[in-house]
Every structure is written in C-alpha cells, then in structure tokens.
Structure 1
Amino acid sequence: MKTRYRGTVPLRLRKALTLLSVIGGGLLAAVGLELFLMPHRLLPGGVAGLSALLSHLTEMRLGLFLFLFNLPFILMSRRQINLRFALYTMLGLICLTAGSLALHHFPAATSEPLPAAIAGGLCLGFGLGITVRFGGIYSAGGRQGVRLLSGSPPQSAEIMIMLFNCVILLSGGALFGWDQAMYSIIAYLLAFEALRFSLRDLSLSRAVWITSSNCEEIRTKLLQTLEREVRIIKSGGPEGQSGILFCLASKLEEEVLTSIVHDYDKDGQIVINTVRPGRTSALFRHTPPG
C-alpha cells in the first residue's frame, strides 16, 4: 500500500472529519462512562477507572477527575508534538469532560449490570480509539499504548500500567462487591479490545521516503521529535537540488511527520509504504520508489 503526500494545504474535508471524529469519540466515551458504567459502579481501568473510583468515593463529578488526571499527560507531551496536535488532544479531553458533566444527571440506559458492562466498555473503547485515530494523538503514552495493543512483549512501563489496572479493579471489588468487580473486568476487557480494534493497524511500521531540498533540517527535526534513525539516501545538490531521506514511522506519526516536512519545505514530497513484518531491516537497503 502506497500513500503520497504533496503540497502543504490539507483538504477541508479532512480537517472537518478530524474535528468531528475527535468530538464524536470524546462524547461516545462519555456516554459509555455516564450512562452505562457509572450508574452500576463499574470501573473500566486506566485513568477513567481511577476517576470513576474517586468519583464514587468523594461524590464529586467524574468529569472533574477526568480533566485533572489527563491534563498533566497533555502538558508533559507538549514538547513531543506540535501545537496543532496538542490542540486536538485538548479538544478530545474537553469533549470527554463536557460530555461527562452534561450526562451526569441522566438516568442509566439499562438497569442490568451485564448489558451495562458490555455497552459501556464498547462505547468507551471505541470512543477513545476514534479520538486517537483521527486526532493524531501519538504522544501522552501513545507509543507504549500502541506497542501494548499490538501484542508486543510488555516493558517496564507497560507492566506498571497492568499492575495499576489490577489495583483499580481489586479496589472496586473490595468497595462495591466482587460481583461488580466481575462486571468491571468484562467492561475493561471489552474496552481494551474495542480500542485495539480501532487502532489495529496504527502500530505497523511504515517506510517513509522524503524528497526535499532541506534534507538536513528535516532530518534534525525528525530525530528530535520521533527519536528514531533518519537516513539520508541522496544528498541535495549545491544549487537547491532535492535530496532523499528515509525513516520508519507508525500510522500515528504520519501526521506529525508530514507537518514537519511541510514546515521546512512546502514543496516536499512524501511516499509512505506499509512495512510487512520481518522486512524492516531490508528496507534500509531498499532503493526509494520512483
């Protein structure tokens, strides 16, 4: 599969789709939390589960905890992403928070905990997945999250995330009953699988060839932002002739990479090919596509 990017002005339809998807994903996640999970004291794990647990214990609004706990991650990731993607991230968080506050007084969509766990977990997982997929949010834990969702061996931070989720689910069982803990586990697993399905191809590496007259500047910025090797396949000429760069990037990093290239070269061209498993090393010996 090959994708080509030319020019600097994105399509208006693409921008509108991105905004609507980020907003819709945040609201769908809020529906899953407030109309299905919260009324039955079900905890989906993660930051949402911690927020729900504290909301039940303190009787404060869920939306307040969601905003307070997610905001630090956005601020910490600000150095890794440009302003546009930081705004998308903040928009998704605001929609999730506002949707949660607006739906707080609505009655539960179902009186049975099992349907609530199923529907709530799916709404939460798909809502977060849509927001991540269309908003281009690749930082704030995105790299490790996508690695975990893709089935890669867990690393230290990912093990900590698993332990964190176990503590939340066990705390919910001790406080609200082990029947609720069982339904919480169902909601958590469904949310995880829905998120995995939404991001199913985002963790695949993509071979990226960049043709530009500002190769060195783009290479330096990509090294700083994506923190990965970027090779110069062909150096640019002394009179502004274009050179060629090569690197690997995930689907979540495509928008960031494209934005960086076009910031330094409005006429830069990008060719992206999906990498099949086991062929990554061969790409470094591959000639760029014509």
Structure 2
Amino acid sequence: MNQPLDHELSASGRSRLIRILSVICGGLLAAVGLELFLMPHKLVLGGIAGLSALLSHLTEMRLGLFLFLFNLPFILLSRKQINLRFALYTLLGLFCLTVGSLALHHFPAVSADPLIAAIAGGLCLGLGIGVMIRSGGLTRNVREQGFLLPDGGPAKSAEVVIMLFNCAILLAGGMLFGWDQAMYSIIAYLLAFEGVRFSLRGLSRSRAVWITSSRCEDIRKALKLSLKRDAKLVRASSPEGQPGVLFCLASRLEEDALTSIVRSFDQDSKITVSNTQPDSIAEWVRRKIS
C-alpha cells in the first residue's frame, strides 16, 4: 500500500547521498588544485582563496586555516537567507576543502612546470568550487569571493569592488613573488573562473514553476519573504476544496529551497518545473526523434 511513498523516500535518500558525495569530491578537488599545483609555485589567485594563499605564504600558517576563517563569516552572514539544509551542505563543503588542504599540505608538487601547474591548478580549483556550488555545498555568496555566475551577478558597484580586490591581490603576489608568478597566477585565475562557469552552466537560468496547493496565499508570501520571488496566483482555491495554482520563476539553485518552503505549508502540493529557455537545435532534433 505504501510502495509509492517508500519509493519516493528511497529516491530522496539516494539523491541526498549523491549530493553529499558531490560536495565532498568538489571540496577535495579544490584542495588538490590549491595544495598540489598552485601553492608550491606561489601562484596566488583572486578572491578569498587568493587572500588566504597570500597570507599563508607570508605567515607560514596553513592555507586551510585561512580558508576556514575567511569563509566562515560568509556562511554566518548568509544563514538568514538559506535554510538549515543549505547551511549544512555549505559547512560540509568548507570542512572538506579545509581538511583536504591541511592533509595535502606536506605533499610535493605534482608538476615542476609553473605553466602546467597554473593550468591544472586553476581547472581543479574552479571545477571543485563549481561542483560544490552546484551540489549546494557553497552559497551563491561565492560570487563575492571573485567567481561570478555566468548569468546575472552582483550590482555593478559590487563588481567594481570585487575587481579592485582581485587586482590588489594579484598585484601583491607579483610584488612579493615576481611578475612571472603573477602572469601564471592570472592564467590560473582565468581558468578557475571558466571552471566555475562550466560547472554552473544553466544553473542561474530562470525556470517556470507551477505550484498546485490549497494554501497558495501562504506559499506566495513565504516565497516573497524567503526567496524574493513574486508568485502570481493563476487560480484561487475553491470553497469545494479544489486546490489553487501559483506561477513563479526560479533558478535551479533555488529549486530545493522553493520545494522545502512549499512542502512546509502543504505536503500534498504538486510542483511542476519547466525550462523557460528555448531548446537548442540538437535538443529539438533529439526530442523529435525520440
């Protein structure tokens, strides 16, 4: 009798396990890029990772400690904007990055060539951070750390501050470790940036969400308060008990939070998500053939 419910719970458990493993792998991959490629060659990127690497070289303290101390305030400041589940994934991602960095600190560099180290290290760091964001391990405040999402982003004034902050870190690295290192650092930073974009491609695109529930008004207010999303009431609930319908737009990064909000009001609600972006030619042909 409860077979559909048991199947749904089992699928939810598998999805959660895959998400946790993805966060762990992303954190470890980012740690590999930092400790086995970038740090041995004194390559300093922008953002929090770059500032942490710069201070680690100057003080001889472990990179992992600075990564944890500098990222923790971002998590605490964003706690009011994300639910507990997102906060736990965020802490897990930061914990894996920190522990991975500390564990790999004494290992020798994988490559003695700074160009290879810049390419491999930048890609590992960018892909690792992207996987953590995609799996919910880091919040979108990673944008303030110097890695912008491909669509959208902070306000123009914030972008100027981020750019100046990153330039200052790269300039300081060049003055301390030489301009050759600064050139390789720029290559690594650009590749890390592209690695994040590659991992997050499509996550910030808006998707149409249809919510069928008997508590549409409560859900609409909660979405406005928590996600800053306006939901349009398509059909109100009828006195006979027929559920109403809400329509809103949300990115893939917001889907889990949106589902959690809706389910907190109505466990029997129905959520339908469809992509609002036009299909590519390849996708259109594949759909017609299948």
TM-score calculated relative to the size of structure 2: 0.88
Greater relative contact order structure (CA < 8 Å, 6+ sep) = 1
Displacement of 1:35: 0.4
Aligned equivalents of 2:244, 2:115: Cα separation in 1: 58
Extract unaligned runs of 5+ from structure 1.
Answer: 1-6, 278-290
Extract unaligned runs of 5+ from structure 2.
Answer: 1-7, 279-290
Partner of 2:78: 77
Q: Are the aligned partners of 1:144 and 1:158 in contact in 2 as well (CA < 8 Å)? A: no
Displacement of 1:240: 3.8
Structure 2 CA distance for partners of 1:27 and 1:261, relative to 1, 3 Å: same
Q: Secondary structure of the equivalent of 2:209? A: strand
Displacement of 1:263: 1.4
Q: Are the aligned partners of 1:137 and 1:252 in contact in 2 as well (CA < 8 Å)? A: no
Aligned equivalents of 1:143, 1:210: Cα separation in 2: 32
- For each residue in 1:179-206, what CA deviation from the matched residue of structure 2 results, as whole angstroms up to 9, or x when unmatched? 0000000000000001001001011111
Determine if the alignment matches structure 1 residue 165 to structure 2 residue 166. yes
Partner of 2:4: none
Structure 2 CA distance for partners of 1:145 and 1:8, relative to 1, 3 Å: farther
Displacement of 1:133: 0.5
Structure 2 CA distance for partners of 1:142 and 1:177, relative to 1, 3 Å: closer
Partner AA of 1:211 in structure 2: T
Displacement of 1:36: 0.3
Aligned equivalents of 1:191, 1:169: Cα separation in 2: 14
Match runs of 1:98-247 below 5 Å: 98-135=99-136, 137-141=138-142, 148-150=149-151, 155-247=156-248
TM-score calculated relative to the size of structure 1: 0.88
Partner AA of 1:164 in structure 2: F
Displacement of 1:233: 1.0
- For each residue in 1:99-150, what CA deviation from the matched residue of structure 2 results, as whole angstroms up to 9, or x when unmatched? 0000011111111100000000000000000011012644435599886423
Structure 2 CA distance for partners of 1:78 and 1:56, relative to 1, 3 Å: same
Q: Are the aligned partners of 2:213 and 2:266 in contact in 1 as well (CA < 8 Å)? A: yes
Q: Which range moved further: 153-162 or 163-172?
A: 153-162
Partner of 2:5: none
Q: Secondary structure of the equivalent of 2:135? A: helix
Displacement of 1:218: 1.0
Partner AA of 1:96 in structure 2: L
Q: Are the aligned partners of 2:94 and 2:138 in contact in 1 as well (CA < 8 Å)? A: no
Partner AA of 1:72 in structure 2: P
Structure 2 CA distance for partners of 1:147 and 1:34, relative to 1, 3 Å: closer
Match runs of 1:24-35 below 5 Å: 24-35=25-36
Displacement of 1:234: 0.9
Aligned equivalents of 1:238, 1:187: Cα separation in 2: 61
Partner of 2:284: none
Structure 2 CA distance for partners of 1:257 and 1:146, relative to 1, 3 Å: farther
Displacement of 1:241: 2.6
Aligned identity (percent) is 66
Aligned equivalents of 1:261, 1:143: Cα separation in 2: 29
Structure 2 CA distance for partners of 1:255 and 1:274, relative to 1, 3 Å: same
Displacement of 1:12: 1.8
- For each residue in 1:193-248, what CA deviation from the matched residue of structure 2 results, as whole angstroms up to 9, or x when unmatched? 01001001011111111001111111111111111211111111235431111111
Partner AA of 2:246 in structure 1: L
Aligned equivalents of 2:76, 2:263: Cα separation in 1: 25
Displacement of 1:259: 1.1
Partner of 2:87: 86
Aligned equivalents of 1:228, 1:84: Cα separation in 2: 20
Partner of 2:57: 56
Q: Which has the higher helix share?
A: 2
Q: How many residues align?
A: 272
Structure 2 CA distance for partners of 1:145 and 1:261, relative to 1, 3 Å: farther
Q: Which range moved further: 25-34 or 139-148?
A: 139-148
Structure 2 CA distance for partners of 1:22 and 1:253, relative to 1, 3 Å: same
Q: Secondary structure of the equivalent of 1:135? A: coil
Partner AA of 2:199 in structure 1: S
Pairwise CA RMSD of aligned residues? 2.2
Aligned equivalents of 2:47, 2:222: Cα separation in 1: 32
Partner of 1:280: none
